[in-house]
């Protein structure tokens, strides 16, 4: 989340769900006298809506295997995630108070019918919402989620990554897989941040695409991160590229350490609230069908701490969870 501002593979199914193969789409069009290469369906500049009732094909590159996922089939948030909480602005002057799933009788994170729903809600004199962090971290891989974005001026959903051992932002790096702000509906962006390239210095690396149904239909947002490049995709179409300059300089490529996945729905802030907020749109709901991590065994590294143990989450020296790892003056 900004401070401010194909290979074809078989689908991974949920119970009782199916997809319509691209070949079937082509057959229907051919019967109507339209000649269409199925690859053009994937590569179209206009991202077509996906059927909410069917599991769509994912676009995992050749050689990658599933190593971690949350399909949200258990009607509860699993221990694959932990909540980050607080109302101090999170370096972006955000207005929400992040809570640990619920606040009193108000639930902001729930799973139903195989969908994780993150809600921003008005409660008394504040807006409460969710910021979730994966317990596991990874070096390199293909990271994707199928999601439907919230609507309304003030919303700022994100699917992104930060380092396991972050100490300084932007020096330690950030990978934004998907961001959107409600005042500019359906314009989705992907970015990277590091010391050399960030919005504070005016050198940020980012790309934006218009997805007409981002707020009304599910789409697949993904990043492929290797030692050589970071690519971002929407429904299998690449629209962002950042290449390792191979200088061995952390200032330009800090992306060689384990990163965690993050999901959050911010309210307002430097970017999300740049044109004000409209509390009449609340509650706003961010829907996530699944989150999946794939790795290429020949390229990826296991996500372990330096002592050889599996990484779980980052904690303070006294054993308590680190709730905010950015300086509050960012």
> Hey, which residues are catalytic here?
174, 179
Backbone angles phi, psi at 187, to 5 degrees: -95, 110
Reference 102, options 128, 126, 63, 77; nearest CA is 128
Integer Cα distance of 81 and 75 in angstroms: 14
User: 3-class SS at 56?
Assistant: coil
Q: Residue 33 is encoded by which pair of tokens?
A: 């006298």
Do residues 236 and 60 touch, judged by C-beta distance below 8 A? Answer: no
Integer Cα distance of 278 and 263 in angstroms: 22
Adjacent-strand bridge partners of 232: 223, 240
Reference 94, options 268, 329, 265; nearest CA is 268
Q: What is the 3-state secondary structure (H, E, C) of 203-254?
A: CCEEEEEECCCCCCCEEEEEEEECCCEEEEEECCEEEEEEECCCCCCCCCCC
Q: Which residues contact 11 (CB under 8 A, 6 or more apart)?
A: 19, 55, 56, 57, 58
User: 3-class SS at 193?
Assistant: strand
Q: Residue 79 is encoded by which pair of tokens?
A: 């221990």
User: 3-class SS at 120?
Assistant: strand
């Amino acid at each position: 989340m900004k401070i401010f501002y194909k290979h074809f593979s078989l689908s991974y199914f949920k119970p009782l769900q199916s997809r319509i193969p691209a070949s079937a789409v082509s057959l229907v069009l051919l019967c109507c006298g339209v000649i269409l290469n199925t690859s053009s369906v994937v590569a179209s500049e206009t991202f077509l809506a996906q059927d909410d009732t069917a599991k769509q094909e994912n676009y995992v590159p050749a050689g990658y295997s599933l190593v971690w996922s949350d399909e949200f089939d258990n009607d509860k948030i699993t221990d694959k995630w932990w909540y980050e909480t607080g109302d101090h602005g999170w370096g972006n002057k955000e207005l929400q108070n992040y809570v640990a799933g619920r606040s009193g009788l108000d639930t902001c994170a729930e799973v139903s019918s195989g969908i994780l729903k993150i809600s921003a809600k008005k409660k008394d004199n504040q807006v409460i919402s969710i910021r979730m962090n994966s317990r596991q971290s990874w070096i390199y891989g293909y990271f994707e989620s199928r999601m439907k974005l919230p609507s309304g001026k003030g919303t700022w959903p994100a699917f992104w990554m930060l380092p396991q051992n972050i100490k300084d932002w932007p020096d330690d790096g950030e990978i934004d897989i998907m961001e959107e702000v409600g005042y500019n509906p359906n314009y989705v962006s992907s970015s990277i941040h590091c010391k050399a390239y960030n919005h504070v210095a005016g050198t940020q690396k980012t790309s934006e695409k218009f997805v007409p149904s981002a707020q009304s239909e599910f789409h697949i947002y993904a990043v492929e991160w290797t030692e050589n490049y970071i690519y971002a995709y929407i429904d299998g179409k690449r629209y962002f590229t950042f290449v390792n300059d191979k200088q061995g300089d952390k200032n330009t490529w800090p992306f060689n350490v384990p990163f965690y996945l993050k999901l959050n729905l911010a309210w307002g802030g430097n970017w999300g609230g740049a044109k004000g907020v409209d509390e009449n749109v609340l509650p706003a709901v961010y829907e996530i069908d699944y989150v999946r991590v794939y790795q290429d065994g020949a390229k990826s590294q296991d996500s372990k701490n330096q002592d050889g143990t599996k990484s779980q989450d980052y904690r303070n020296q006294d054993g308590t969870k680190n709730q905010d790892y950015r300086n509050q003056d960012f």
